[in-house]
Amino acid sequence: MSEAIPAEPAVSGASGGGAARRPVIIAVDGRSGSGKTSLALELASLLREHRKVSVFHLEDVYPGWNGLSAGVDRYLQTVLNPLHRGVDAQWTSWDWSAHFDGEARQTTASDVVIVEGVGAAQAPARPMLDAVIWVEAAEALRKERALARDGETYAPYWDLWAAQEAELLAADHPAEHADLRLDSPVLPSDVLQALGLLPQLKNLLAPELQREHARATLAAPVPFTGDPAGLFEALFGHSENAVWLDSSDAQQRGERSRFSIMADDGGDFGQIAWHRDGMTRHSFRGITVEVPGPFFRWLDAQWPGTSAPIAGGLPFSLGWIGYLGYELKRETGGSRQSPDTPDAGLLHAGRAVVVDHQEQLAWALSLADDGWPETVTRAAAKHAPGTAARPDPTTVSVRDDRSAYKTKIGLAQAQIFEGNSYEICLTTCLAFRTDADPLGLYRTLRQANPAPFAAFLAFGGLSILSTSPERLLRMSPGGALTAEPIKGTRRRDPDPGKDAELRSELAASVKDRAENLMIVDLMRNDLSHFALPGSVRVSRLCAIESYATVHQMVSTVEARLRPGTSRSEAIAAAFPAGSMTGAPKISTMRILDQLEAAPRGAYSGAIGYFSRDGGSDLSVLIRTLVLDHGQATLGVGGAITADSAPEEEWQEVRAKAFGVLDALGLAFPDD
């Protein structure tokens, strides 16, 4: 701090007498040597492409090496307060050579003002700030940087200044209130991208956001006839965060089984985002961004759906991909429950692979011209098959045994008889511990239970292994909506004759058809809120589909999205799946919270993608194993109606659990 950084030259804008509007003020705070100054200057340079920017450095007003607290007070009174009112700030600098007040200076109330320095985002300042950036760095690196910049002038005072910083931060730590937290060094362009995630800066950064939304998705076809599991492992098996939307029954052909999607959060445009209790946290390349507010409002901002579709008729042109947990129901009429896992987890894929099983191609997609197609080509040619895995023999527990589950069935039917619901989708949970590799376990499940909406997700210590046959909602870029609810299940039998009888029994079941019709009617209502009038129709009713371990009764509801409607709000209207709640949805969700007395977490939520071109496809997380740092859970259940027979419902629970447990060599707990 021996040499003060020159003040920004005055630019046209607010005069000393006032301003038409106040500037957007961004604070860059952190300990000495963390890289605040260089970041502020580089960020200002990027912002000046579309707007006028002033920069203020707090070190220009610290009154000496023992003046941190006094300098923060000067900054608040003579700089930040007038700027917040839209008035140019007139302030007196500190002459570090003369150790006394120096010349008078001015900071113009430009379109944007960046205030930088230790104490820039202290508690009294925050109400006057539009965004707070906290820069973190290891102490050794900070000291090295500070002494390199200020030389031996700073060395005798390092400990004195560090003690003042510690005292200031002990009273109030801006990092706990920062919109952005950076682990220095980071790229200024990434910081600008992170600022664009903040709702309060959306209008300011509209030019940069529009440029990103207009960025073309590069697509290159790669011949591929190999094992998709091996390709995923070769490309993403070592990624901390990765997703595989896996049409594991690709040999069945058809629209639902044509494509598989693989992606991670690597590359120049990758991100990971977690949502929990009204806060979404983004992380990418040393930056963490906190965005308060409901999840579906966040999704609406991050998924404009304005990019052009890409070649090949591919369903995914990069974008967000991940899971939405059942407890997001708090935003769609349900009550608040707090699961151990986040309410939602999605990664932003700036690179991905879409496997077209029909055309035998692996499309390499990317937002950057960075050699991704060549990487995919090498992996497609040389990938080795991975290894399936089973957990070590272990005991499986169930939250509700036969007696407890039947008691809850009785309570559910009492609610139905009282007119509080027509159908209640009651669930319970199986659990066990395992140290087995999640991807190896998923290989085992997909081989035993191929399904059109199978999926594998690994986000750090959380893994989701799904063999779901049920689509929640597909939305095409043009606004076509398709839901395929499932209600009605029979276990497969190895004897062909008995198996055919079970299939016929399901098709003729009055009870199962009634359950299915209730959910079809519920889905028609959900879609109607955002559909063109007259476009909602049932194109398939109570059809029977057979999978490896079960027969299912499936219907199809279609509609067309009303022009100008929020796509994320249309998704929210259909969430969670009516097939996993019952009807009417809102009152039944409240009944389920009381009966189940535990959060469902990811189970019975959804997994899928939100593509840059506005397309989306979400499946219901059923037949799904969730692993959270070695704790495995499997949610199972069934629809309870007035005609339900408790023992039959219990056997349906066992049937639905069988496919996953048997594949892993595990058994349902003894009754």
Give per-residue pLDDT as tens, 262-321: 999 999 999 999 999 999 999 999 999 999 999 999 999 999 887 777 877 899 999 999
Tell me what pLDDT residue 3 has: 36
**End-to-end C-alpha distance for the chain, whole angstroms:** 74
Rounded to 5°, angle at Cα 51 from 50 and 52: 145
Please give the Cα distance from 315 to 289 (Å, whole number): 29
Omega before 185 within 30 of 0, i.e. cis: yes
- Read off the pLDDT of each residue in 362-372 and give the average, rounded to a whole number: 95
- Per-residue confidence (pLDDT) for residue 20, from 0 to 100: 52
Q: Under a CB-based contact definition with an 8 Å cutoff, are residues 553 and 487 in contact?
A: yes
Q: What is the largest CA-CA distance in the chain?
A: 99
Q: For residues 228 and 356, is the Cβ–Cβ distance under 8 A?
A: no
Nearest to 128 by CA among 167, 204, 76, 66: 76
Retrieve residue 387's tokens: 């290894």
Residue 236: what pLDDT? 96
* Cβ contact 131:195 at 8 Å: yes
User: Average pLDDT, stretch 48-76?
Assistant: 96
Task: Provide mean pLDDT across the span 121-136.
Answer: 97
What Rg value do the Cα atoms of the chain yield, rounded? 29
Which pLDDT band holds residue 147 (cuts at 50, 70, 90)? confident
C-alpha dist (Å) from residue 365 to 221, 254, 350, 407, 447: 9, 23, 8, 52, 27
Reply yes or no on whether the pLDDT at 34 is more than 50.
yes
Residues 6+ apart with CB under 8 A from 122: 29, 72, 76, 168, 172, 174
* Mean pLDDT (whole number) for 19-32: 88
The residues facing 182 across adjacent strands are 135, 287
Sign of the torsion formed by the C-alpha atoms of 542, 562, 589 and 550? positive
Q: Does 26 or 139 have the greater pLDDT score?
A: 26
The residue whose two tokens read 């049409």 is 247
- Look up tokens 């604070």; give the residue: 27
Mean pLDDT of 26-54: 96
CA angle 51, 303, 52 (to 5 degrees): 5
Name the 3-class secondary structure at 361.
Answer: strand
Amino acid at 76: L
pTM: 0.91
Tell me if 575 sits within 8 A of 485, measured CB to CB.
no
Contact 433, 588 (CB under 8 A): no
Task: Please check whether residue 474 is in contact with residue 482, taking contact to mean a CB–CB distance below 8 angstroms.
Answer: yes
Cα–Cα distance, 548 to 585 (Å, whole number): 30
**Tokens for 567?**
């796509």
DSSP, res 15: B
Residue 445 confidence class, pLDDT cut points 50, 70, 90: very high
Whether the per-residue pLDDT at 50 is higher than 90: the answer is yes
> What is the average pLDDT value for the chain, to the nearest integer?
92
Q: Is pLDDT above 60 for 17?
A: no
Residue 366 has pLDDT above 60, yes or no: yes
Annotated active-site residue in 487, 585, 596, 652: 487
Mean pLDDT, residues 584-595: 96
Which residue has 């939305």 as its token pair?
A: 475
Could you give phi then psi for residue 328, rounded to 5 degrees? -65, -5
User: Would you call the peptide bond into 576 cis, given omega within 30 degrees of 0 as the criterion?
Assistant: yes
> 10 by DSSP, 3-state: which?
coil
In 3-state terms, what secondary structure has residue 45?
helix
The predicted structure's pLDDT at residue 388: 83
| pLDDT tens digits, one per residue of 154-206 | 788 888 999 999 999 999 999 999 999 999 899 999 999 999 999 999 999 99
Is 470 a known active-site residue?
yes
Q: What is the pLDDT of residue 309?
A: 76
Query: What is the number of other CB atoms lying within 10 angstroms of the CB of residue 239?
Result: 16
pLDDT band, very low/low/confident/very high, at 387 (cuts 50, 70, 90): confident
| Count of CB atoms situated within 10 Å of the CB of 472 | 30
| Average pLDDT over every residue of 400-421 | 97
> Quick one: what percent of the chain has pLDDT higher than 70?
96
Long-range contacts of 278-283 (CB under 8 A, 24+ apart): 282/194, 282/197
Catalytic residue among 470, 515, 596, 652: 470
User: Residue type for 53, please?
Assistant: V
pLDDT: is 310 or 247 the higher one?
247
Q: Looking at the predicted structure, is the pLDDT value of residue 259 above 70?
A: yes
Higher-pLDDT residue of 146, 392: 392
Confidence of residue 670 (pLDDT cuts 50, 70, 90): confident
